[in-house]
Chain A
Amino acid sequence: MTESTATSTVEPILEVTGLVKHFPLTQGILFKKHVGAVRAVDGVDFTLAPGETLGIVGESGCGKSTVAKMLVNLERPTAGSIKYKGEDITKLSGRALKAVRRNIQMVFQDPYTSLNPRMTVGDIIGEPYDIHPEVAPKGDRRRRVQELLDVVGLNPEYVNRYPHQFSGGQRQRIGIARGLALRPEIIVADEPVSALDVSVQAQVINLLERLQGEFGLSYVFIAHDLSIVRHISDRVGVMYLGRIVEIGRDAEIYDHPTHPYTQALLSAVPVPDPEAREHRERIILVGDVPSPTNIPSGCRFRTRCWKAREKCEREVPALAVPAEFRHGAGPAAHASACHFAEEKQVVPPEESLDDQAEGAV
């Protein structure tokens, strides 16, 4: 990990402020009455630097996929702004929106539903050029499509095949090729490998990393698998019930988490090392995630938190560097939305890699 990736001096390519998405709950057959709202995303802020990978982790229902959809304009935010190079894209429509869309593309989770089964691979990867004809002249498209197939490691002669003739990993490569077609600057990847077999996941992750270097891409990488997120991300944000509760460099989050939810999440991840199971401390959370229609007051994690006190019920903790770490420059000094943040090491550091992690901060 290099220091240059996330320094504040670099103008962020993407700046998300106060992002909110509420889905209204309605009742009634013809005339709908609002009876509440699913607060899927409830105030999310982050920035993305050029060439950086921001990982967003969280459990199902935490709102991470909704964030992804808003970034690529598949959902309109209820409030907040998404600034791409300083321009708020949530206010755009028509031609201006279409132009921005060229630069922010998405890779979907399920390679079986994200490709139209009735289109050939050539048509799927070439579709971006049909929608944005200014990018490639008509005669050039087929060559470009074949080039893209080659870039993602598929035989360029496969253009006339249909998606069902490919395996899951190959289909995901096709999805990635489609995402690359317009030469975007940002790729939002929503669980891009979770539907794949273990031995194929590594191939796709390596491909994504290679493409990042080759095309200078910035990634927003959304996943529930903390190990994969660590592997690919420069910075990581942890989401819980529609909010980011902790965000920082990967070593800060994984080796020096200060938010109790992050700590619990990390400690729960099974580590492929049977030696570790005897001396690992596991934080087992009680209960389930509350419903996003009925979010607890104050700190939204307090209902499952072993540290919760009265203050947590009253005051919403802000996502900022906690006061006790504010003056140190150590790895614990990163934003964490907890009134009682404290450092706790839950992932046993490997001797050989410990130095490397320390050196990065």
Chain B
Amino acid sequence: MPEPQPEEPHVSGGQRSAEDGAIASTGLDGTMDLATTEGETLEKGLGNADAGGPADKARSLWSDAWRDLRRNPVFIISALVILFLVVISLWPSLIASGNPLTCDLAKAQQGSQPGHPFGFDGQGCDVYTRTVYGARISISVGVCATLGVALLGSLLGGLAGFFGGISDSFLSRITDVFFAIPVVLGGLVLLSVVTSNSVWPVIGFMVLLGWPQISRIARGSVITAKQNDYVQAARALGASNSRMLLRHITPNAVAPVIVVATIALGTYIALEATLSYLGVGLKPPSVSWGIDISAASPYIRNAPHALLWPSGALAITVLAFIMLGDAVRDALDPKLR
């Protein structure tokens, strides 16, 4: 139904102009009456200065997005949470003095007590210390796998979508094949031959099975963006392929990839847990939220706290990344400003 939205998009000058005023006060005088009302939708006329934004230095999407993000509380909170998580996964001893591997079976399943605020798990290990130390593996698996998947997937999918033809058909068939592989079964087969107890084989496995998901989305959104006239316009100006991809297609195709990738991040952390539980991922003495969650789940009735804390940490981490992705996506869309 086209009518209700006012068809003529309106210059939302209030907010912008007020901000401009803080940066460069030049040129505001003539348009003061229009710029004073914060967030107000302005009538604009043709050409002549009835709704003029002050002329300050040239802007770009990225600088505008950054200005936007800095003022977005969702972004600030999620960025702080993620920063905190990164710091403790690099230096866990900053906030946890114990050793995650020092366990005392005598204290198994005991609840919170002084010096051990989260209580003890089924093996008598300190849940607080283990939750803090577990961040390292969970975060590195989640972040590295997501980055790997997003980069590989959007590169392959994006190029296939942009160039089309045989390479596209070929890639599409390959992604179909990968989609047919059950993740858990694939993990059992592929990771069972790996003997090293490090995160890299796990990450590699996730990237291997995860990229087709992103590549399919990237391909679709690149094809959609490619069909827009502004890409044709750039081509008609003589723009190179790389310019069209970087300036015109990527910024307009990146949103769905960001959304899916941030959601996938949570599933990768959970998948690491599943694989560990099945005995093909990381094995104790490694410490990860996944290992702890699966180890604690049999005792959920007797010691729910041992399950609750690592799960809670996982949930907060996933939520923070999703919120971050959401904020970045919105900031990259000028229409929402």
Contacts and interface: CB of A to CB of B under 8 A. Distances in A.
Interface of A: 29-30, 69, 72-74, 97-98, 101-102, 105-106, 108-110, 113-120, 122-124, 127-128, 130-132, 142, 146, 150, 153-162, 164-170, 175, 178, 182, 203
B233 A118 contact: no
Contact of B230 (A116, A154, A164): A116
Interface string B2-42: 00000111111100000000000001000000000000000
B10 to A, nearest CB: 7
Contact of A178 (B44, B173, B233, B248): B233
B9 A113 contact: no
Interface in B44-81: 44, 46-49, 51-56, 58-61, 64
B151 to A, nearest CB: 21
A185 to B, nearest CB: 15
Contacts of A142: 58
Contact of B9 (A116, A118, A153, A165): A165
A166 B9 contact: yes
Interface in B289-320: none
B267 interface: no
A117 B237 contact: no
Interface in B233-263: 233-239, 243, 247-248, 251-252
Given A29-B169, A131-B238, A168-B8, A160 B58 contact: yes
Contacts of A178: 233, 237
Given A116-B248, A154-B46, A203-B46, A131 B334 contact: no
Given A127-B234, A170-B46, A118 B53 contact: no
A182 B236 CA distance: 12
B229 A113 contact: yes
Contact of A122 (B58, B166, B238, B239): B58
Contacts of A127: 234, 237, 239, 247
A-B pairs with the 5 shortest C-beta distances?
A: A114-B229, A162-B334, A167-B8, A98-B238, A157-B52
Given A73-B236, A118-B332, 7 more contacts: A74-B232, A97-B238, A116-B252, A131-B239, A161-B11, A165-B9, A166-B44
Contacts of A97: 238
B170 to A, nearest CB: 7
* Most B Cβ at <10 Å: residue of A117, A123, A132, A162: A162
26 contacts: A97-B238, A98-B238, A105-B236, A105-B237, A106-B232, A108-B229, A113-B230, A114-B230, A114-B232, A117-B333, A118-B61, A119-B60, A127-B234, A153-B46, A155-B48, A155-B52, A157-B49, A157-B53, A159-B55, A160-B55, A164-B334, A165-B10, A165-B13, A166-B44, A167-B7, A203-B46
Contacts of A164: 9, 334-335
B228 interface: yes
A153 B233 contact: no
B185 to A, nearest CB: 27
B59 A153 contact: no
A42 to B, nearest CB: 23
A142 B57 CA distance: 10
Contacts of B337: 162
A151 to B, nearest CB: 10
A73 B238 CA distance: 9
A30 B170 contact: yes
A110 B237 contact: no
A120 B58 contact: yes
A144 B237 CA distance: 17
Given A114-B230, A154-B47, A168-B8, A74 B252 contact: no
A156 B170 CA distance: 49
A106 B236 contact: yes
Interface string B208-241: 0000000000000000000011101111111100
B145 to A, nearest CB: 28
B238 A117 contact: no
Nearest to B56: A160
Contact of A157 (B9, B27, B228, B332): B27
The interface residues of chain B, by DSSP majority, are classed as loop
A120 B59 contact: yes
Contacts of A155: 47-49, 51-52
B235 A74 contact: yes
Contacts of A166: 9, 11, 44
Given A116-B230, A155-B49, A72 B60 contact: no
A165 B48 CA distance: 16
* Most B Cβ at <10 Å: residue of A69, A102, A170, A175: A170
Nearest to A114: B229
A110 B335 contact: no
Given A30-B170, A162-B334, A120 B239 contact: no
A132 B243 CA distance: 13
B235 to A, nearest CB: 6
A90 to B, nearest CB: 15
* Most B Cβ at <10 Å: residue of A98, A120, A124, A168: A120
A113 B229 CA distance: 5
Contacts of B229: 108-110, 113-114
A138 to B, nearest CB: 11
Nearest to A166: B9
A155 B54 CA distance: 11
B47 A108 contact: no
A114 B334 contact: no
Contacts of A123: 58, 60
B53 A30 contact: no
A162 B233 contact: no
Nearest to A169: B46
A131 B243 contact: yes
A162 B335 contact: yes
B228 A131 contact: no
B58 A30 contact: no
Given A113-B230, A117-B335, A120-B58, A72 B236 contact: yes
Nearest to B227: A113
Contacts of B7: 167-168
A165 to B, nearest CB: 5
Nearest to B335: A164
Contacts of B235: 74
A74 B229 CA distance: 11
